Amino acid sequence: MKEKKKRPYLPPKVKEMSLAQAKELVKDLANCNDSEAKKIVESLHRERDEQYRKVG
């Protein structure tokens, strides 16, 4: 019998989340308040949209 190689743990990738979920995630990771988290998430959305415009 062949031994199975253990695969390293890879956390699941998040492909989509709501604005509220993203804001909560940023708030927890950056240790900031709601308004700061909202600004960060909105800036990320603007950056993503600009990248899509360049490609498409």
pTM for the structure as a whole: 0.59
- Of 22, 17, 49, 46, which is closest to residue 34 (Cα–Cα)? 22
Amino acid at residue number 42 = E
The larger pLDDT score, comparing residue 17 to residue 27, is at 27
pLDDT of residue 31: 93
The residues near 36 (Cβ < 8 Å, ≥ 6 apart) are 27, 30
Amino acid at residue number 53 = R
pLDDT of residue 14: 66
For 44, list phi and psi in degrees, rounded to 5.
-65, -40
Tens digits of residue pLDDT in 7-16: 888 776 767 8
